[in-house]
Amino acid sequence: MTACPPATRANARTQARSLLRGTGWLSGGFVLLAVAWTVGEARWDARLFAEIPGTTAENLGVSDARALWAGRPGLQVLDVRSAWETSRGVIPGARCIPWGSADFRQRLEGWDRTRPVLVYCEGGYRSRKAVRVLRDLGFTSVHHLHRGMMSWRWAGEPVAPGRRGGP
């Protein structure tokens, strides 16, 4: 396991101390939990998006994902949410393969591993797991939408109607 970089640990401690001053113990506990989550997520991202020669893996905010989506006609968009979630709308052009489905890897067999993939779920957890699988399967350009469909909607980006009953 990779250790958290010293600068990140020091920054997290500083944030925690400053937030705890003037707050009650209980609210301070919630603040510490939020800081711990942020540090843990940063450690996970450092491993997940580490450089592998000949490949690209990025964690993109909405504006960068939108630019990638709009500027690359060959982009493959993968939605790993459940059928119920996709019935509420998808990023236009997305193909839906629910994370956790027994045939998840098999359904990716027909995908072009040399074309870029933008992967997302509702909040970012399942799609991070999918990034690892995509990289293991040999996809050379994998892009992850940070905070998933939740952030896409909040930013007012276009959402296509999902099919009732899912993909």
Asked if the structure places residue 21 within a domain, the reply is yes
| Same domain for 147 and 68 | yes
| Same domain for 77 and 99 | yes
| Same domain for 64 and 42 | no
Q: What is the DSSP letter of 90?
A: B
Q: What pLDDT does residue 71 have? A: 81
Q: What pLDDT does residue 64 have? A: 94
Q: What is the DSSP letter of 140?
A: S
Maximum Cα interatomic distance, the chain, rounded to a whole number of Å: 57
| Same domain for 102 and 30 | no
Q: What is the DSSP letter of 138?
A: T
Contacts of 131 (CB under 8 A, 6+ apart): 48, 49, 57, 119, 142, 144
| Same domain for 97 and 26 | no
pLDDT tens sequence for the chain (167 residues):
444 444 555 666 665 565 555 555 555 565 555 655 555 566 656 666 676 667 788 889 999 999 998 887 889 999 999 999 999 999 999 999 999 999 999 999 999 999 999 999 999 889 999 999 999 999 999 999 999 999 999 999 999 998 654 44
Q: Which domain holds residue 33?
A: 6-47
Q: What pLDDT does residue 73 have? A: 82
Q: What total of structural domains would you count in the chain?
A: 2
| Same domain for 64 and 38 | no
Asked if the structure places residue 88 within a domain, the reply is yes
Parallel, antiparallel or unpaired: strands 141-145 and 117-120: parallel
**Which stretches does DSSP call E strand in 105-155?**
117-120, 141-145
Tokens standing for residue 42: 């940063």
Asked if the structure places residue 162 within a domain, the reply is no
Asked if the structure places residue 165 within a domain, the reply is no
- CA distances to 22, 57, 91, 108, 158 from 154, rounded to whole Å, are 32, 24, 13, 29, 11
| Same domain for 72 and 15 | no
Asked if the structure places residue 15 within a domain, the reply is yes
Tokens standing for residue 26: 């209980």
| Same domain for 81 and 108 | yes
